[in-house]
Chain A
Amino acid sequence: MIQLTNVSKIYPNGARALVDVNLKIGKGNFVFLVGPSGAGKSTLIKLLYREETPTRGQVQINSKNLVRMKDREVPYLRRNIGVIFQDFKLLPNKTVFENVGFALEVIGVAKREVRNRTLATLELVGLKAKETAYPHELSGGEQQRVCVARAVINNPALLVADEPTGNLDPDTAWDIMELLYDINKRGTTIVMATHARAIVNKMQKRVIAIENGRVARDEEKGGYGYDA
């Protein structure tokens, strides 16, 4: 489903974020990206939803070439990719319902359908009771659930997450991981960059370690692998 071929990314300031990366991620996989800060995990994530394009090499998702893709095609790619961030990126002046429905509203879905699908998705993430609350009235875990709901409401084939549990306490982090586990079980491919050792070790999923912009390790059912 995802294929990176000889991908290098050098930022305009000369920083070499990725060097000659080759990767294949199959449909329905759950993949952890681990490695030290600044190793290139976030850059890799950004390549997947085409926030960045590689300096060299090819990125393909579902046999679509993201490098050759025209800018005006990008929105249609993103409708099939959900993105979750460490800092949630919720709109403070919109309610939970509005924040989640926003993802459908701005791609022109009819009002009634927005309503139905938003309620269904809020049910999925366990936030139906909070639909009229504003982000600042929610706990961190709840805010991240809203973010997950917004990312999956369009039934994306791929969900990418950049340290989604980075701002959460361990118990809450586990709640989010259970949610992602469920979403993965429904067939969504998940690529998640993380520093959460306990989670990676316990989940026993594929682990790709990035160091200095290169793939240092790639194991099925791997562990976090770095000492504390």
Chain B
Amino acid sequence: MKKKGDMATMLNSSGYIFRETINSMKRNPWLSLASVVTVMVSLVILGYSIFFLANAANMAKSFESELEIGAFVQIEYTPEEVQDLKSQIEQMPGVESVTLVTKEQALEDFGKTLGGSQGNIVSDVGGTNPFPDKLTVKATDPQNVKALASSLESNPGLYKVRYGQDFVDQLLKFTQWLRWIGFGVVAAFGVAAVVLISINVKMNVFSRRREIQIMKLVGASNSFIRWPFLIEGLALGLVGGTFAAVIVGLGYNWITVYVQSTLTFLPVVQNEVLFRQVSMGLLLGGMVMGALGSLFSLQKFLRA
């Protein structure tokens, strides 16, 4: 008895529902604006967090696949022993080349980075050269870097092996941390947005209570009475989501261009698919917040 003709009913009612939605948004313009802005802020933060995390993951991956491994030779090794070690490593499978940076060279480079220091650097740093000899090992295949690094670690002639992994570990720790903070901030703003939308809808329910009373009296279905309010919430959320998508999209584009022209070594994610997914996600997120806000305020009334 109730499913019959629901489509026709919806069609006949769409004009009414649309009019009511516009009217309610006009009724409380400031509250509507506040709702839209909070939705927007929460989603902008969400959007940038996603892009940041995507970039961090991408960075981690590209550093992981760096071909170079830094292997530090035991400090007491003589130059001859270092040469032996170098040729020994050159023979290892998967190694493309080995370059030696001697401790003297390292000290000199260090001195250069200090710039100002004139006299004897060795005496400046305490009489002995603190730097070890370093072998820069280049792998033939990025896939091999990790295996190669671990086999180098077991070489008694080397006391430390460094490759992208170190940096990656730190980066991952940081992104983990950021993920929680981001989650917290997004959740806080999300809750605020839902509450504001819910207040917005509630006020409109209140200002239309006579009309609603009569609608119930003449047998308007609950869903018919709810639709304008639900759509109002959805519309507020969607507008917020749209602004957020535009801000995140334009902002990210700008940052990308800036980073690529100044920090050329940083790999920046420019993924059309991710871009579209994030935009759609933000729109959807806005609508979900709007729907939640409406549902919270409609839950209590319209029982019968």
- A contact set with B: CB distance below 8 Å: 49-50, 71-80, 83, 89, 91, 102-103, 105-111, 150, 154
B151 within 8 A of A: no
CB distance from B231 to the nearest CB of A (A): 15
Please indicate the chain B residues that have their CB under 8 angstroms from the CB of A49 in the complex: 217
- Whether B218 and A102, one on each chain, are in contact in the complex, defined by CB atoms closer than 8 angstroms, is yes
Contact A74 B218 (CB under 8 A): no
Across the interface, which residues of B come within 8 angstroms of A50, CB to CB? Answer: 304
Is B211 on the interface with A (CB-CB < 8 A)?
yes
Give the interface size bracket for B toward A: 20 to 34
Q: Mark B186-212, 1 if CB is under 8 A from A, else 0.
A: 000000000000000000000000110
B10 within 8 A of partner (CB): yes
With A72-B2, A76-B1, A109-B12 known to touch, is A91 a contact of B218 (CB < 8 Å)? no
Instruction: Report B-chain residues with C-beta under 8 Å of the C-beta of A110.
Output: 8, 12
CB distance from A72 to the nearest CB of B (A): 6
In Å, the complex CA distance between A102 and B224 comes to 13
The answer to whether the Cβ of B116 comes within 8 Å of any Cβ in the partner chain is no
Q: Which chain A positions have C-beta within 8 A of B92? A: none
Question: B219 to A76, Cβ gap below 8 A?
Answer: yes
Residues in B neighbouring A107, C-beta threshold 8 A: 9, 218-221, 224
Instruction: Identify the closest chain B residue to A90 (Cβ).
Output: B214
Contact A154 B219 (CB under 8 A): yes
**In terms of DSSP, what is the predominant structure of the interface of chain B?**
helix
Number of A-B contacts (CB under 8 A): 70
CA distance A18 to B12 in the complex (A): 42
**Given contacts A89-B210, A91-B211, A106-B224, are A71 and B303 in contact (CB under 8 A)?**
yes
A72 to B2, CA, bound (A): 9
> Which residue of the partner chain, among B214, B219, B304, contacts A79 with CB atoms under 8 Å?
B219
Contact string against A for B residues 1-32, beta-carbon threshold 8 Å, 1 for contact and 0 otherwise: 11001001110110110000000000000000
> Is the beta-carbon distance between A108 and B218 smaller than 8 angstroms?
no
The chain B residue with its CB closest to the CB of A70 is: B304
CA distance in complex: A103, B303 (Å): 20
A-B contacts besides A77-B219, A110-B12, 17 pairs, CB < 8 Å:
A50-B304, A72-B2, A75-B221, A76-B221, A78-B219, A79-B218, A79-B219, A105-B16, A106-B16, A107-B218, A107-B220, A107-B221, A108-B8, A108-B9, A108-B13, A111-B12, A111-B15
Interface set, chain B 209-245, CB cutoff 8 A to A = 210-211, 213-222, 224-225
A49 to B218 Cα, complex, angstroms:
10
CB distance from B166 to the nearest CB of A (A): 62
Least distance between B263 CB and chain A CB atoms (Å):
60
Q: How far is the CB of B249 from chain A (nearest CB, A)?
A: 40
Q: Within 8 Å CB of B213, what residues of A?
A: 89
Contacts of B304 in A (CB 8 A): 50, 71, 74
Q: Which 6 A-B pairs have the closest CB atoms?
A: A108-B9, A79-B219, A78-B219, A106-B220, A103-B218, A75-B219
Provide the bound-state CA to CA distance between A71 and B12, in Å. 24
**Shortest beta-carbon distance from B262 to chain A in Å:** 61
Q: List 12 A-B contacts (CB under 8 A).
A: A49-B217, A71-B304, A73-B2, A74-B304, A78-B216, A78-B219, A79-B218, A91-B211, A108-B8, A108-B12, A109-B12, A110-B8
Q: Is the CB of B214 within 8 A of A91?
A: yes
A150 touches B218 (CB 8 A): yes
Distance, CA A128 to CA B222, complexed state (A): 31
Supposing A72-B2, A72-B222, A75-B221 touch, asked if A106 and B12 sit within 8 A by C-beta, the answer is: no
In Å, the complex CA distance between A72 and B303 comes to 8
When distances are taken between beta carbons in the complex, the residues of chain A under 8 Å from B9 are: 107-108
**B-chain residues with CB within 8 Å of residue A106 when the two chains form the complex:** 13, 16, 215, 218, 220, 224-225
Bound together, the chains give a CA A83 to CA B216 distance in angstroms of 11
Contact with A along B274-304 (1 / 0, CB 8 A): 0000000000000000000000000000011
- Contact residues in A for B16 (Cβ distance below 8 Å): 105-106
A108 touches B224 (CB 8 A): yes
Interchain CA distance A150-B216 in the complex, whole Å: 13
The residues of B that contact A102 with a CB separation of less than 8 Å are 214-215, 218
Cβ of A107 to closest chain B Cβ, rounded Å: 6
> What are the residues of chain B within 8 A of A83 when measuring CB–CB?
217
Residue of A77, A108, A109 ringed by the most chain B CB atoms within 10 A = A108
Which B residues are CB-close (under 8 A) to A154? 218-219
Q: Nearest CB to that of A93 among chain B residues?
A: B211
Report Cα–Cα, A88/B215, bound state, in Å: 14
Separation in Å of the B130 CB from the closest CB of chain A? Answer: 80
